[in-house]
Amino acid sequence: MNTPGTFSRDSFALIPSLNSPQNDEARRAALLNRLEGIISSAERERRDFTPEEDKERQALTRDIRRIDVMLDVKAGLLDLDGIQTDNPHGSAIYSAFDTTGRAGGGRGRGRLAPGVPFARYVGAIALSRGNITAAAEFAQRWTDSPEVPRVLRAAVSAGTTTDQAWAGSLVAYRQMADEFIELLVPQTIIGQMPLRSVPFNTRIPRALSGATAGWVGERNPKPVSKAALDAITIPYNKLAVISVLTEELVRFSNPNAELLVRDLLIQAISDAMNASFIDALPATANVRPAGIVNGVVVGGPVAMTAAAIRDEAVVMIGAAIAGNFPVNRLRWILSPQLVLKLGAMRTVNGAAEFDGLPGSFMGVPVVQSTTVPYGATTNMILADAGSILLADDGQVTVDVSREAAVEMSDTPTGAGALVSLWQTNSVGILCERYITWQVARAGAVQVSAVTVA
Protein backbone atom coordinates (compact mmCIF):
# COMPACT_ATOMS: atom_id res chain seq x y z
CA MET A 1 0.00 0.00 0.00
CA ASN A 2 1.45 3.31 -1.03
CA THR A 3 1.26 6.38 1.14
CA PRO A 4 -0.18 9.53 -0.45
CA GLY A 5 2.28 11.44 -2.59
CA THR A 6 4.70 8.52 -3.03
CA PHE A 7 5.34 6.21 -5.96
CA SER A 8 6.65 2.69 -6.20
CA ARG A 9 6.64 0.07 -8.89
CA ASP A 10 3.11 -0.87 -7.72
CA SER A 11 1.96 2.63 -8.65
CA PHE A 12 2.68 1.85 -12.31
CA ALA A 13 -0.35 -0.44 -12.42
CA LEU A 14 -2.53 2.70 -12.43
CA ILE A 15 -1.41 3.36 -16.03
CA PRO A 16 -2.28 0.77 -18.73
CA SER A 17 0.68 -1.36 -19.88
CA LEU A 18 3.14 0.65 -17.81
CA ASN A 19 4.80 -2.53 -16.65
CA SER A 20 5.65 -3.27 -20.31
CA PRO A 21 6.64 0.00 -21.98
CA GLN A 22 8.36 -2.09 -24.64
CA ASN A 23 4.87 -2.69 -26.09
CA ASP A 24 4.40 1.04 -26.55
CA GLU A 25 7.82 1.40 -28.07
CA ALA A 26 7.25 -1.49 -30.47
CA ARG A 27 3.90 -0.01 -31.54
CA ARG A 28 5.51 3.41 -31.92
CA ALA A 29 8.29 1.92 -34.07
CA ALA A 30 5.71 0.21 -36.32
CA LEU A 31 3.71 3.42 -36.70
CA LEU A 32 6.85 5.43 -37.38
CA ASN A 33 7.99 2.90 -39.97
CA ARG A 34 4.64 3.18 -41.75
CA LEU A 35 4.79 7.00 -41.65
CA GLU A 36 8.29 7.04 -43.10
CA GLY A 37 7.14 4.63 -45.80
CA ILE A 38 4.41 7.06 -46.88
CA ILE A 39 6.85 9.95 -46.96
CA SER A 40 9.48 7.91 -48.83
CA SER A 41 6.96 6.81 -51.44
CA ALA A 42 5.97 10.40 -52.19
CA GLU A 43 9.62 11.45 -52.32
CA ARG A 44 10.63 8.68 -54.72
CA GLU A 45 7.78 9.54 -57.09
CA ARG A 46 8.38 13.29 -56.59
CA ARG A 47 4.72 14.02 -55.90
CA ASP A 48 2.45 15.33 -53.16
CA PHE A 49 0.55 13.06 -50.81
CA THR A 50 -2.66 11.55 -52.12
CA PRO A 51 -5.81 12.37 -50.06
CA GLU A 52 -5.73 8.86 -48.60
CA GLU A 53 -2.02 9.10 -47.76
CA ASP A 54 -2.47 12.52 -46.20
CA LYS A 55 -5.34 11.27 -44.03
CA GLU A 56 -3.33 8.23 -42.91
CA ARG A 57 -0.25 10.40 -42.32
CA GLN A 58 -2.20 12.69 -39.99
CA ALA A 59 -3.65 9.73 -38.09
CA LEU A 60 -0.24 8.11 -37.72
CA THR A 61 1.26 11.39 -36.47
CA ARG A 62 -1.48 11.74 -33.84
CA ASP A 63 -0.96 8.18 -32.62
CA ILE A 64 2.81 8.62 -32.40
CA ARG A 65 2.35 11.81 -30.39
CA ARG A 66 -0.01 10.06 -27.95
CA ILE A 67 2.51 7.26 -27.44
CA ASP A 68 5.30 9.80 -26.93
CA VAL A 69 3.26 11.49 -24.21
CA MET A 70 2.63 8.17 -22.50
CA LEU A 71 6.31 7.19 -22.69
CA ASP A 72 7.22 10.59 -21.29
CA VAL A 73 4.82 10.14 -18.35
CA LYS A 74 6.14 6.67 -17.64
CA ALA A 75 9.75 7.77 -17.81
CA GLY A 76 8.91 10.63 -15.45
CA LEU A 77 7.38 8.23 -12.93
CA LEU A 78 10.45 6.02 -13.20
CA ASP A 79 12.63 9.03 -12.42
CA LEU A 80 10.47 9.98 -9.46
CA ASP A 81 10.83 6.46 -8.13
CA GLY A 82 14.62 6.73 -8.37
CA ILE A 83 14.94 4.13 -11.13
CA GLN A 84 17.81 4.73 -13.57
CA THR A 85 16.86 5.32 -17.21
CA ASP A 86 18.81 2.24 -18.27
CA ASN A 87 16.44 0.09 -16.15
CA PRO A 88 14.71 -2.62 -18.21
CA HIS A 89 11.38 -0.94 -17.45
CA GLY A 90 12.65 2.40 -18.84
CA SER A 91 12.40 3.73 -22.35
CA ALA A 92 15.26 2.59 -24.58
CA ILE A 93 14.55 5.55 -26.82
CA TYR A 94 15.17 8.04 -24.05
CA SER A 95 18.18 6.13 -22.75
CA ALA A 96 19.82 6.52 -26.15
CA PHE A 97 19.19 10.26 -26.10
CA ASP A 98 20.58 10.56 -22.59
CA THR A 99 23.84 8.76 -23.34
CA THR A 100 24.68 10.37 -26.68
CA GLY A 101 22.65 13.53 -27.18
CA ARG A 102 22.73 15.12 -23.77
CA ALA A 103 25.29 17.17 -21.93
CA GLY A 104 24.14 15.76 -18.59
CA GLY A 105 23.28 12.41 -17.05
CA GLY A 106 19.93 10.65 -16.95
CA ARG A 107 16.65 11.76 -18.42
CA GLY A 108 15.50 15.06 -16.95
CA ARG A 109 18.87 15.64 -15.31
CA GLY A 110 20.80 17.13 -18.23
CA ARG A 111 20.29 19.16 -21.36
CA LEU A 112 20.87 18.48 -25.01
CA ALA A 113 24.41 19.04 -26.20
CA PRO A 114 24.91 22.56 -27.58
CA GLY A 115 23.93 22.87 -31.21
CA VAL A 116 21.75 19.73 -31.33
CA PRO A 117 18.41 21.63 -31.59
CA PHE A 118 19.82 23.64 -34.50
CA ALA A 119 21.12 20.45 -36.14
CA ARG A 120 17.68 18.88 -35.67
CA TYR A 121 16.09 21.94 -37.27
CA VAL A 122 18.36 21.51 -40.30
CA GLY A 123 17.81 17.75 -40.41
CA ALA A 124 14.01 18.05 -40.31
CA ILE A 125 14.03 20.48 -43.22
CA ALA A 126 16.42 18.25 -45.14
CA LEU A 127 14.33 15.13 -44.58
CA SER A 128 11.11 16.86 -45.67
CA ARG A 129 12.71 18.27 -48.85
CA GLY A 130 12.05 21.81 -47.67
CA ASN A 131 8.35 21.16 -46.90
CA ILE A 132 7.98 23.11 -43.65
CA THR A 133 4.67 21.47 -42.73
CA ALA A 134 6.13 17.97 -43.08
CA ALA A 135 9.28 19.09 -41.24
CA ALA A 136 7.20 20.35 -38.31
CA GLU A 137 5.40 17.00 -38.08
CA PHE A 138 8.64 15.06 -38.33
CA ALA A 139 10.17 17.18 -35.54
CA GLN A 140 7.40 16.17 -33.14
CA ARG A 141 9.43 13.05 -32.32
CA TRP A 142 11.95 15.19 -30.42
CA THR A 143 9.98 15.75 -27.24
CA ASP A 144 13.11 16.92 -25.43
CA SER A 145 13.55 19.91 -27.79
CA PRO A 146 10.01 21.32 -28.29
CA GLU A 147 11.40 24.56 -29.69
CA VAL A 148 12.24 22.81 -32.98
CA PRO A 149 8.66 21.88 -34.04
CA ARG A 150 7.40 25.17 -32.57
CA VAL A 151 9.72 27.17 -34.82
CA LEU A 152 8.86 25.05 -37.84
CA ARG A 153 5.13 25.45 -37.22
CA ALA A 154 5.60 29.20 -36.92
CA ALA A 155 7.06 29.23 -40.43
CA VAL A 156 3.87 27.75 -41.93
CA SER A 157 1.69 30.83 -41.56
CA ALA A 158 2.44 34.52 -41.64
CA GLY A 159 2.76 36.34 -38.34
CA THR A 160 0.35 39.09 -37.39
CA THR A 161 0.33 41.76 -34.71
CA THR A 162 -2.48 39.88 -32.94
CA ASP A 163 -0.65 36.56 -32.89
CA GLN A 164 0.74 36.35 -29.37
CA ALA A 165 2.75 33.22 -30.15
CA TRP A 166 4.56 34.82 -33.09
CA ALA A 167 7.21 36.65 -31.07
CA GLY A 168 7.76 33.64 -28.86
CA SER A 169 8.51 31.48 -31.88
CA LEU A 170 11.00 34.00 -33.17
CA VAL A 171 12.72 34.01 -29.80
CA ALA A 172 12.96 30.22 -29.92
CA TYR A 173 14.67 30.29 -33.30
CA ARG A 174 16.95 33.06 -32.11
CA GLN A 175 17.94 30.90 -29.17
CA MET A 176 18.73 27.96 -31.44
CA ALA A 177 20.75 30.13 -33.82
CA ASP A 178 22.58 31.77 -30.94
CA GLU A 179 23.41 28.35 -29.53
CA PHE A 180 24.98 27.38 -32.83
CA ILE A 181 26.88 30.68 -33.09
CA GLU A 182 28.18 30.32 -29.54
CA LEU A 183 29.36 26.82 -30.37
CA LEU A 184 31.03 28.11 -33.54
CA VAL A 185 32.72 31.20 -32.12
CA PRO A 186 35.32 29.51 -29.85
CA GLN A 187 36.55 27.48 -32.82
CA THR A 188 37.33 30.56 -34.89
CA ILE A 189 40.31 32.90 -34.62
CA ILE A 190 37.85 35.79 -34.70
CA GLY A 191 35.98 34.40 -31.71
CA GLN A 192 39.13 34.35 -29.60
CA MET A 193 40.22 37.92 -30.34
CA PRO A 194 38.68 41.12 -28.93
CA LEU A 195 38.06 42.66 -32.35
CA ARG A 196 36.29 45.99 -32.74
CA SER A 197 32.67 45.48 -33.83
CA VAL A 198 31.21 47.82 -36.44
CA PRO A 199 28.05 47.71 -38.61
CA PHE A 200 27.98 46.77 -42.30
CA ASN A 201 28.10 49.40 -45.08
CA THR A 202 29.48 52.09 -42.82
CA ARG A 203 32.09 54.79 -43.45
CA ILE A 204 34.41 55.11 -40.48
CA PRO A 205 36.83 58.05 -40.13
CA ARG A 206 40.38 57.29 -39.09
CA ALA A 207 43.44 59.39 -38.31
CA LEU A 208 46.51 58.99 -40.50
CA SER A 209 48.48 61.34 -38.27
CA GLY A 210 47.52 63.08 -35.06
CA ALA A 211 47.42 66.74 -34.14
CA THR A 212 50.29 68.15 -32.07
CA ALA A 213 50.11 70.32 -28.98
CA GLY A 214 52.77 72.56 -27.41
CA TRP A 215 53.46 74.51 -24.25
CA VAL A 216 52.54 78.18 -24.46
CA GLY A 217 53.91 80.99 -22.33
CA GLU A 218 51.85 83.87 -21.01
CA ARG A 219 50.63 86.17 -23.81
CA ASN A 220 52.44 84.06 -26.44
CA PRO A 221 50.55 82.88 -29.56
CA LYS A 222 49.16 79.33 -29.46
CA PRO A 223 50.27 76.87 -32.19
CA VAL A 224 47.81 75.64 -34.81
CA SER A 225 47.88 72.01 -35.84
CA LYS A 226 45.76 69.66 -37.85
CA ALA A 227 45.31 65.92 -38.11
CA ALA A 228 45.35 63.96 -41.35
CA LEU A 229 42.08 62.04 -41.69
CA ASP A 230 40.44 59.74 -44.19
CA ALA A 231 37.60 57.22 -44.05
CA ILE A 232 37.29 53.50 -44.62
CA THR A 233 34.13 51.67 -45.63
CA ILE A 234 33.12 48.30 -44.24
CA PRO A 235 31.16 46.44 -46.95
CA TYR A 236 29.23 43.24 -46.48
CA ASN A 237 30.61 39.89 -47.65
CA LYS A 238 29.09 36.45 -47.53
CA LEU A 239 30.74 33.23 -46.42
CA ALA A 240 29.01 30.11 -47.73
CA VAL A 241 29.56 26.37 -47.52
CA ILE A 242 27.71 23.31 -48.77
CA SER A 243 27.82 20.05 -46.85
CA VAL A 244 26.60 16.98 -48.73
CA LEU A 245 25.22 14.09 -46.66
CA THR A 246 23.67 10.81 -47.67
CA GLU A 247 19.91 10.60 -47.33
CA GLU A 248 20.29 7.58 -45.07
CA LEU A 249 22.39 9.60 -42.63
CA VAL A 250 19.88 12.46 -42.48
CA ARG A 251 16.99 10.04 -42.09
CA PHE A 252 18.66 8.24 -39.17
CA SER A 253 17.34 9.93 -36.05
CA ASN A 254 20.00 8.70 -33.65
CA PRO A 255 21.56 11.65 -31.75
CA ASN A 256 24.96 10.66 -33.14
CA ALA A 257 23.73 11.65 -36.61
CA GLU A 258 22.50 14.99 -35.26
CA LEU A 259 25.86 15.66 -33.68
CA LEU A 260 27.58 14.76 -36.93
CA VAL A 261 25.46 17.26 -38.87
CA ARG A 262 26.23 19.89 -36.26
CA ASP A 263 29.97 19.20 -36.34
CA LEU A 264 30.09 19.22 -40.14
CA LEU A 265 28.51 22.68 -40.26
CA ILE A 266 30.78 24.05 -37.54
CA GLN A 267 33.93 22.56 -39.04
CA ALA A 268 33.24 23.82 -42.56
CA ILE A 269 32.40 27.37 -41.54
CA SER A 270 35.17 27.75 -38.97
CA ASP A 271 37.86 26.36 -41.31
CA ALA A 272 36.86 28.68 -44.15
CA MET A 273 36.69 31.69 -41.84
CA ASN A 274 40.03 31.00 -40.18
CA ALA A 275 41.87 30.42 -43.44
CA SER A 276 40.52 33.62 -45.02
CA PHE A 277 41.15 35.73 -41.94
CA ILE A 278 44.93 35.13 -41.85
CA ASP A 279 45.75 34.71 -45.54
CA ALA A 280 47.62 37.25 -47.68
CA LEU A 281 45.00 37.52 -50.43
CA PRO A 282 43.70 40.97 -51.38
CA ALA A 283 40.06 41.97 -51.09
CA THR A 284 37.76 41.13 -53.98
CA ALA A 285 34.93 43.62 -54.35
CA ASN A 286 31.55 42.15 -53.38
CA VAL A 287 33.16 38.73 -52.79
CA ARG A 288 35.56 38.59 -49.85
CA PRO A 289 37.63 40.79 -47.50
CA ALA A 290 41.40 40.90 -47.60
CA GLY A 291 43.28 38.67 -45.20
CA ILE A 292 44.86 40.58 -42.34
CA VAL A 293 48.33 39.56 -43.61
CA ASN A 294 47.69 41.16 -47.01
CA GLY A 295 50.34 43.80 -47.76
CA VAL A 296 52.42 42.98 -44.67
CA VAL A 297 56.16 42.52 -45.22
CA VAL A 298 57.16 39.14 -43.77
CA GLY A 299 60.23 39.24 -41.53
CA GLY A 300 62.80 36.50 -41.07
CA PRO A 301 63.55 33.76 -41.68
CA VAL A 302 64.04 33.04 -37.99
CA ALA A 303 65.99 29.97 -36.90
CA MET A 304 64.18 27.40 -34.78
CA THR A 305 66.17 28.17 -31.63
CA ALA A 306 64.96 29.64 -28.37
CA ALA A 307 67.36 32.61 -28.58
CA ALA A 308 66.43 33.52 -32.18
CA ILE A 309 62.69 33.23 -31.59
CA ARG A 310 62.90 35.19 -28.33
CA ASP A 311 64.83 38.00 -30.04
CA GLU A 312 62.32 38.14 -32.91
CA ALA A 313 59.37 38.23 -30.51
CA VAL A 314 60.96 41.11 -28.60
CA VAL A 315 61.44 43.04 -31.85
CA MET A 316 57.82 42.47 -32.91
CA ILE A 317 56.31 43.43 -29.55
CA GLY A 318 58.64 46.43 -29.38
CA ALA A 319 57.48 47.59 -32.82
CA ALA A 320 53.86 47.38 -31.67
CA ILE A 321 54.65 49.45 -28.58
CA ALA A 322 56.49 52.01 -30.71
CA GLY A 323 53.44 52.23 -32.97
CA ASN A 324 51.22 53.09 -29.96
CA PHE A 325 49.33 49.80 -30.10
CA PRO A 326 48.15 48.88 -26.57
CA VAL A 327 49.95 45.78 -25.34
CA ASN A 328 46.81 44.38 -23.71
CA ARG A 329 45.16 44.19 -27.15
CA LEU A 330 47.99 42.24 -28.79
CA ARG A 331 47.46 38.60 -29.77
CA TRP A 332 49.75 35.96 -31.24
CA ILE A 333 48.21 33.76 -33.95
CA LEU A 334 50.30 30.58 -34.14
CA SER A 335 50.14 27.06 -35.51
CA PRO A 336 49.52 24.42 -32.79
CA GLN A 337 52.64 22.59 -34.03
CA LEU A 338 54.79 25.65 -33.41
CA VAL A 339 53.26 26.13 -29.97
CA LEU A 340 54.04 22.49 -29.19
CA LYS A 341 57.67 22.88 -30.27
CA LEU A 342 58.13 26.10 -28.32
CA GLY A 343 56.61 24.49 -25.24
CA ALA A 344 58.98 21.54 -25.55
CA MET A 345 62.13 23.70 -25.61
CA ARG A 346 64.24 23.34 -22.46
CA THR A 347 67.21 25.11 -20.95
CA VAL A 348 70.39 23.25 -20.02
CA ASN A 349 68.89 22.88 -16.53
CA GLY A 350 65.71 21.31 -17.88
CA ALA A 351 63.46 24.33 -17.29
CA ALA A 352 60.98 25.52 -19.92
CA GLU A 353 62.42 28.17 -22.24
CA PHE A 354 59.08 29.94 -22.51
CA ASP A 355 56.75 30.21 -19.54
CA GLY A 356 53.02 30.57 -20.10
CA LEU A 357 52.59 28.30 -23.11
CA PRO A 358 50.20 27.30 -24.53
CA GLY A 359 48.08 30.17 -23.19
CA SER A 360 50.59 32.99 -23.68
CA PHE A 361 53.97 33.63 -25.27
CA MET A 362 56.28 36.39 -24.05
CA GLY A 363 53.39 37.73 -21.97
CA VAL A 364 51.00 38.04 -24.94
CA PRO A 365 47.95 35.73 -25.26
CA VAL A 366 48.15 33.03 -27.93
CA VAL A 367 45.40 32.06 -30.38
CA GLN A 368 46.08 28.68 -31.97
CA SER A 369 44.76 27.68 -35.38
CA THR A 370 45.57 24.76 -37.66
CA THR A 371 44.89 27.07 -40.62
CA VAL A 372 48.25 28.80 -40.02
CA PRO A 373 50.44 27.15 -42.69
CA TYR A 374 53.02 24.76 -41.27
CA GLY A 375 55.66 23.12 -43.43
CA ALA A 376 59.31 23.99 -43.99
CA THR A 377 58.39 27.37 -42.50
CA THR A 378 55.51 28.74 -40.46
CA ASN A 379 54.42 32.24 -39.55
CA MET A 380 54.42 34.02 -36.24
CA ILE A 381 51.57 36.55 -36.52
CA LEU A 382 51.24 39.39 -34.02
CA ALA A 383 48.08 41.49 -34.30
CA ASP A 384 46.49 44.37 -32.44
CA ALA A 385 42.94 43.02 -32.13
CA GLY A 386 41.49 46.46 -31.43
CA SER A 387 42.73 47.75 -34.80
CA ILE A 388 40.85 45.07 -36.76
CA LEU A 389 37.26 46.05 -37.54
CA LEU A 390 34.69 43.26 -37.64
CA ALA A 391 31.17 43.42 -39.11
CA ASP A 392 29.13 40.31 -38.40
CA ASP A 393 25.37 39.82 -38.33
CA GLY A 394 25.78 36.78 -36.06
CA GLN A 395 23.34 34.65 -38.07
CA VAL A 396 23.80 31.40 -39.93
CA THR A 397 21.14 30.89 -42.63
CA VAL A 398 20.40 27.37 -43.83
CA ASP A 399 18.93 26.04 -47.09
CA VAL A 400 18.45 22.41 -48.11
CA SER A 401 18.07 20.71 -51.49
CA ARG A 402 17.81 17.18 -52.86
CA GLU A 403 17.42 18.14 -56.52
CA ALA A 404 20.42 20.44 -57.01
CA ALA A 405 23.52 19.53 -58.99
CA VAL A 406 26.71 20.25 -57.06
CA GLU A 407 30.31 20.71 -58.16
CA MET A 408 31.96 18.55 -55.50
CA SER A 409 35.00 20.74 -54.90
CA ASP A 410 36.21 23.04 -52.14
CA THR A 411 37.48 25.38 -54.89
CA PRO A 412 34.61 25.38 -57.40
CA THR A 413 35.10 27.09 -60.76
CA GLY A 414 31.57 26.76 -62.12
CA ALA A 415 32.92 24.69 -65.01
CA GLY A 416 33.63 21.42 -63.22
CA ALA A 417 31.67 18.16 -63.35
CA LEU A 418 28.34 18.29 -61.54
CA VAL A 419 26.92 15.58 -59.29
CA SER A 420 23.15 15.16 -59.03
CA LEU A 421 22.01 14.99 -55.41
CA TRP A 422 18.78 13.31 -56.50
CA GLN A 423 20.61 10.60 -58.45
CA THR A 424 23.03 9.84 -55.63
CA ASN A 425 20.42 9.89 -52.83
CA SER A 426 22.18 12.82 -51.19
CA VAL A 427 21.13 15.97 -49.38
CA GLY A 428 22.91 19.29 -49.81
CA ILE A 429 22.87 21.66 -46.84
CA LEU A 430 23.89 25.24 -47.64
CA CYS A 431 25.01 27.47 -44.77
CA GLU A 432 25.70 31.18 -45.21
CA ARG A 433 27.00 33.86 -42.90
CA TYR A 434 27.44 37.56 -43.61
CA ILE A 435 30.75 38.68 -42.12
CA THR A 436 33.70 40.87 -43.05
CA TRP A 437 36.76 42.44 -41.46
CA GLN A 438 39.34 45.09 -42.21
CA VAL A 439 42.62 46.24 -40.67
CA ALA A 440 42.10 49.86 -39.69
CA ARG A 441 45.70 50.94 -38.97
CA ALA A 442 48.95 50.29 -40.77
CA GLY A 443 51.35 48.27 -38.64
CA ALA A 444 48.56 46.60 -36.66
CA VAL A 445 49.66 43.20 -38.01
CA GLN A 446 53.22 41.86 -38.13
CA VAL A 447 54.45 38.57 -39.55
CA SER A 448 57.76 36.72 -39.19
CA ALA A 449 58.62 33.40 -40.84
CA VAL A 450 60.17 30.68 -38.68
CA THR A 451 62.22 27.88 -40.24
CA VAL A 452 60.98 24.68 -38.62
CA ALA A 453 62.38 21.99 -40.96
Q: Do both 377 and 263 map to the same domain?
A: no
Confidence of residue 341 (pLDDT cuts 50, 70, 90): very high
Q: Do both 132 and 281 map to the same domain?
A: no
pLDDT at 71 over 70: no
The domain in which residue 59 lies consists of 8-111
Q: Is 282 a member of any domain?
A: yes
Cα pseudo-dihedral 350, 351, 357, 362, rounded to 10: -130
Q: Do both 121 and 265 map to the same domain?
A: no
Mean pLDDT, range 152-159, rounded to an integer: 60
Q: Is 231 a member of any domain?
A: no
Q: Each residue of 392-439: pLDDT tens digit?
A: 887 777 777 888 888 887 777 778 888 888 888 888 888 888 889 999
Q: Do both 125 and 74 map to the same domain?
A: no
pTM, 2 dp: 0.59
- Cα–Cα distances (Å) from 339 to 148, 361, 374, 385, 423, in that order, read 41, 9, 11, 20, 46
What is the spatial distance between Cα 390 and Cα 207, in angstroms, rounded to a whole number? 18
Bridge-based pairing state of the strands 388-392 and 426-439: antiparallel
Q: Which residues pair with 232 in a beta bridge?
A: 204
More confident residue, 307 or 105: 307
Q: Each residue of 373-392: pLDDT tens digit?
A: 898 999 999 999 989 999 88
Q: Do both 50 and 118 map to the same domain?
A: no
- DSSP string of 142-165? -TT-THHHHHHHHTTS---TT-HH
Q: Which residues pair with 241 in a beta bridge?
A: 431
Q: Do both 53 and 177 map to the same domain?
A: no
- Number of structural domains found in the chain: 4
Percent of the chain with pLDDT over 90: 20
